[in-house]
Each structure stands twice: as structure tokens, then as C-alpha cells.
Structure 1
Amino acid sequence: MLIDNHGRRVNYLRLAVTDRCNLRCFYCMPEHGNEWLQRKELMTYEEMLQICSVLVKMGVDKVRITGGEPFVRKGMMRFLSDLTKLPGLEQVSITTNGVLTAPLVPELKKIGIHSVNLSLDTLDRNRFFAITRRDVLPDVMHTLEALLQHELPVKLNTVVMDGKNVQDIKPLVELTKELPVSVRFIEEMPFNGSGDHNTHLPWDHFRILEAIREDFPGIQKVPDPANSTAYHYRIPGHKGNVGIIAAYTRSFCGSCNRLRLTPQGVLKTCLYGDGVLNVRDLMRAGTGEAVLQQTLTKAIGSREKDGWEAEKNAAAISSLSASMATIGG
């Protein structure tokens, strides 16, 4: 097992396969997009399989594929198929915006994808366009329908933004009455890639819960799974459930079991911290598996205690102006 310097088991990798995205959500990147990485800067699929294989041997048993938007990268389905076959890897999950995903759902089910997180900040087409700068809500809803039809576990990820989509909290919760989905409301984070987004967080997890309780007074707290980033709730009579993620408040750091790899192979031991090493460069330099494991073990053995400490340590080197697409959502 991988154990960090705070006694926490690390068994979950969030792997960003691309920084590119077909949406332009204002809380994630500038309207004109980012300066995209060149192909040679990205880890190849072979490199990603190699580092995943190494980490699985070290104790990682869950991998989540993120981006950018994973399905804008060509060859993704073959990579996912190969990844699910790694011995010892128990779960492969995906986070997607759903724009291109609907036709792929049957194959995702076939190759054994464990679950899908679908980004959905509103059910209103006009608000969707205002948030994402793209008029593609019907495509996202088709993906949701396909996921439910093929009985793939699905979580809907909603970033709660003051003045943008708070009126969507109620209708999104109402989805859980008839649909077996988990709707997860997420505190807004300051990663929009422009450096001018000052998150003063008027909607923290307490206020989100308060707003839900106003319309659903019977909402009940239920036990949270180990290492969960969300507070979990159920509403009697509803098929689905509700989660609230304190992504900016960072109240879950004490049980963090996650690592992140950016599209260019930078290992981050905390979302709010700087990268600690570049595994792509190590692999391209011919570093053997034994040395790679030693290097990874050393990095994981020097993790910050929590996101606040990581942010403080990173402040002298970088600012919280990175795009979530370049970090790995």
C-alpha cells in the first residue's frame, strides 16, 4: 500500500488525458480557451498506461479519467479498454461534460467502466449557454438518458455559482425523485485560468444545504463512504440521492486518498498545490520501474497536510489562476 507522511492510504488516481475542451465554462477557462499543449507535450497513451501500471502495483486501485474533456482526444476508447484490463485495477471511472459521450455509452458499459460523472450546472438551455458559452444542453441530456438506459452509475456534478445557477438547485434535486442519480453540488473554486476570478464563496456547503432544505425539509444526512469528498443526503421517497462537496472549504482533506496527473505528466499530491515531479520526463529519460517507484514513494511521503497548507506553499511559485482544464477536473 501507498501511505503518505500523514498516515493516509493513497489508492486513487485522477488522470487528466487532455487539457482541451469543447466547452468554455467561465469558471474553468477564459472565453477564448487556453493556450493548448502541443501533442508532444502530452503524455502518450503508452506512457499513461505505463504510469498507471506502476501506480497500480504500488497500491492504486481506482483511476478516474478527466480532462479537459476526455472524449475530444482521439483514440480514447481504445485507451480506456486497455486501461480496464490492468491487473489489480478495480475501478475505472470517467468525468465528462457529455457533449460527445452519448454514442459511446454502450461501449463504455461493455468494457467495464465503473461509473460516470456528468457535468451539468443547469437544466435551463439559456443558462447553460451563459455558463458554458456553447448551446449543447440537448447533447448532454442525451448522454444522461443513455447512461441511465445502460444502467451505468451516474453522478451529476453541479458547480453552484452566485447569480448564475442557484435557481437550478431545486430542479436538479427534483431529478432524484424519479431517477437513480446522485446530484452533487460543488463549491466554486478559483481555477478559471484568467487570474481575475475572486471566489469569496457566498454559496458554501452550509448555504447549499440550507437552500435544499427549504424545498425538501425531509432531507436526511446519511453516512459518508470512506475518503469521500462529499457530504451525503437522502430525501425519503426519492430513488436518487444528493451530495455536497466542500471543494473550496476543503473540509475533507484529512482523509484524502488522491493523486493527480496533469496531461503533461506532472504529479500533484494536492489540487491546490504545485506539481511535485514530472513522470513523463522520467519515463522519457528511460527511468526504470524500480527507480520510478522510489521517486513516487518519496513524493507521496512529502504531502502537505491539507489544501490550505498546499496553497500557502504554492503561493510563492504560482497563483490560483490555473485553468481546471490544465490541472485535471
Structure 2
Amino acid sequence: MTLYDNHNRPLTYVRLAVTDRCNLRCFYCMPAEGIQYLPKRELLTFEEIKRTIALLARLGISKVRLTGGEPFVRMDLMRLIRNLVEIPGVNDLHITTNGVLTAPHVAELKRLGIASVNLSLDTLDAERFKLITRRAEFGPVMRTLELLLKHDIPTKINAVVMEGKNIDDILPLVQLTQQHAVDVRFIEEMPFNGEGSHYPTLHWNYARILSYLKEHHPGLYKIPDPANATATEYAVPGYKGTVGIIAAFSRTFCGTCNRIRITAQGTLKTCLYDEGVLDIRQLLRSGASDDVITEKLLQAFRQRPKDGFEAEASRSNHLPAHESMSTIGG
């Protein structure tokens, strides 16, 4: 079956955060001192996650992405992954990770048939990595990238473009696509760092990123975007990989958005910019039947905002600046 929202957009994809904790302190994600993490009892248990994903799969959600925080900070994550890949209707299981703790699990991820891994990597310079993430973990992250490529797991590198931080890394990251079949995606910085936006105006928006890429790679050409893609995709002639730009703050892709989010505490978000529209954890722990939970989910999907601007305008505080991406689910 195909599940649709009230704007006749198919819903096929859920991003589920397994934890709000992270072992990095990235400039664009949270303050240097970190955030107030949720007590363990407030996180969805593995059993609750499995039940939720099974219910969504019956409705037509076929793609699942595990996020955090950093998912591999969650103890025994591989046990959860082994269970999720067995759920009927879950055709593709993906993971977004910062790569610090991922390397020891890459071989098993390959055996389990993980569809892809998104690796957060904003720089190829060890010192800049330390400045951006506030941690000296560049070596383990690059080891993870090496193993993902070795095991031929489809890999996307997510790089947030930050003025004054990593502009010098844009071209070296593009160069990775010359010899490797990776998709390097440049992302507009969003105001979800627990502090508010760093800039009065977003100078490095998708248009400027594209202009910069074309200036240095005049042959850059447009390639077809996958259905419901958040990134606009390009390639450099003769290069094995691709280059994408995600207009995360400009929100140009809302019209084809097929994804929902579930935070680590079980809050359903039908848009990144909303405040959360359903407390799934409360339903699960109150003894609600599968039928009741399913109907509540369908009600939420029938009231989905048309885009991120409408979702943001409906918030009680109208500004998401106090939130961290680690809390929301990357």
C-alpha cells in the first residue's frame, strides 16, 4: 500500500533517532558544553522502536534511517539493527553516523545488507576537524570511510558549509569523487545548534555553493535527482562520484518531501521545523493497541504542513533556535 499525506505526497521514509547523545560537539549542532541529555528511561526502548517501525511498515513506510545524536553511542545498537532488517515491509535500512565508533561494525553492516551510510564529515583536515567538532577523532572517522569504501557500502558524505570554518574544504571534498563512487553533499547550515543561528544572514546558501563549485569546476553538469531527493545532484566530467547540494535552510525541496521523523524520546515530527505532533512513547507505554496507535499516526499525517515555513510559523515560539539537531534527530 502507499501512504499519502494531506497534500497528496507519498510517505515512505522515517528517520528515527535512537539516542540524543553524541561523542562530538560540532559547532553547528550543539554548544561547546553540550546539551541536557534525556534520562535513559525517557528514550524509546529497542522493543518500542521495533513495534513502532513495524506499525509504520504496515502503513507503507519502507525506508528507515537510524540517526542520533550519534547512533553508535547507543549500547548494543547492532542488536537493534539485526531485528529491524527482519521486519516485513522494511526494504531499506540506512544509517547516519559521524564515524567515530562505526569502523568495527562495517563488515557486519555489509552482511546485513545495509542500504547506505551517510557519514558526517565537514573537513578533510585534522586540525579543522578538531576545531569544528571540538574533539580529536579525525583518525577513527577516516578509518570508517576507508572501510565503507572497501566493503562497497553506498556512502554519502554530508558536509555542512560554514562561513569561516570549512570553505577551504569544499574543493578537497569534491576531489574525493574523482577516484571514489561517493556522493559528497554540501548542506546549508541550519539554526539547530542549541544556541540559534550563527549568522544574521545565511551567506553560503545553495546558490552560492553552486556558483563556487561551477567557478572551480566549469564542466560541472546536472544529473537526474532521485525521487523525493533532498539534494540537487551534479557531477564533474570523468569523476566516479557525484556532488549534491541540500538547501536545508532555504527549504526548496518541501514539495516532494516523503519523510517523517521520530525523536529519541518518541515524538513524531511530520516536518523538521515543527514542534512535534504526536507523543508515540506515551501511547506505547499507556497500553494503547496497535489499532489506536495506527489511527493516531494517520491523523497526524492528515494534518501535515505544506512546507517548513508553515511548520515553523505554527510553532508556539515560532523559532526553533533553542533546539539542537542532536535532540531532533539529525
Give the TM-score normalised by the residue count of structure 2: 0.98
Alpha-carbon distance between aligned partners in 1 of 2:226 and 2:180, rounded to the nearest angstrom: 21
Give the TM-score normalised by the residue count of structure 1: 0.98
For residue 319 of structure 1, what is the aligned residue in structure 2? 320
Kindly state the Cα deviation for residue 234 of structure 1 after the two structures are TM-superposed.
1.0
Establish whether residue 166 from structure 1 lines up as the match of residue 199 from structure 2: no
Alignment of 1:142-221 (within 5 A): 142-195=143-196, 197-198=198-199, 200-221=201-222
For residue 125 of structure 1, what is the aligned residue in structure 2? 126
For residue 307 of structure 1, what is the aligned residue in structure 2? 308
For residue 64 of structure 2, what is the aligned residue in structure 1? 63
Alpha-carbon distance between aligned partners in 1 of 2:310 and 2:175, rounded to the nearest angstrom: 38
> In structure 2, the residue corresponding to 1:86 is in which secondary structure?
coil
| Cα displacement string for residues 151-202 of structure 1 (whole angstroms, at most 9, x for unaligned residues) | 0000000000011001100000011000110000000000001236345210
Alpha-carbon distance between aligned partners in 2 of 1:3 and 1:262, rounded to the nearest angstrom: 21
Alpha-carbon distance between aligned partners in 2 of 1:196 and 1:119, rounded to the nearest angstrom: 20
| Cα displacement string for residues 227-272 of structure 1 (whole angstroms, at most 9, x for unaligned residues) | 0000000111000000000000000000110100000000000001
Kindly state the Cα deviation for residue 315 of structure 1 after the two structures are TM-superposed.
4.5
Establish whether residue 251 from structure 1 lines up as the match of residue 247 from structure 2: no
For residue 293 of structure 1, what is the aligned residue in structure 2? 294
Asked if 2 retains the 8 angstrom alpha-carbon contact of 1:41 and 1:264, the reply is yes
Kindly state the Cα deviation for residue 26 of structure 1 after the two structures are TM-superposed.
1.3
Aligned length: 329
Establish whether residue 19 from structure 1 lines up as the match of residue 20 from structure 2: yes
For residue 137 of structure 1, what is the aligned residue in structure 2? 138
Partner letter of residue 128 of structure 1? F
Q: Which runs of 5+ in 2 are unaligned?
A: none
Kindly state the Cα deviation for residue 320 of structure 1 after the two structures are TM-superposed.
2.5
| Cα displacement string for residues 32-58 of structure 1 (whole angstroms, at most 9, x for unaligned residues) | 111110010000000000000000000
> In structure 2, the residue corresponding to 1:299 is in which secondary structure?
helix
Q: Which runs of 5+ in 1 are unaligned?
A: none
> In structure 1, the residue corresponding to 2:169 is in which secondary structure?
helix
Partner letter of residue 195 of structure 1? G
> In structure 1, the residue corresponding to 2:321 is in which secondary structure?
coil
Q: Taking structure 1 as reference, are residues 249 and 315 closer, same or farther at Cα in structure 2, changes over 3 Å only?
A: farther
More displaced 10-residue stretch of structure 1: 193-202 or 60-69: 193-202
> In structure 2, the residue corresponding to 1:112 is in which secondary structure?
coil
Asked if 2 retains the 8 angstrom alpha-carbon contact of 1:189 and 1:199, the reply is no
Asked if 2 retains the 8 angstrom alpha-carbon contact of 1:190 and 1:199, the reply is no
> In structure 2, the residue corresponding to 1:152 is in which secondary structure?
coil
> In structure 2, the residue corresponding to 1:314 is in which secondary structure?
coil
Asked if 1 retains the 8 angstrom alpha-carbon contact of 2:277 and 2:300, the reply is yes
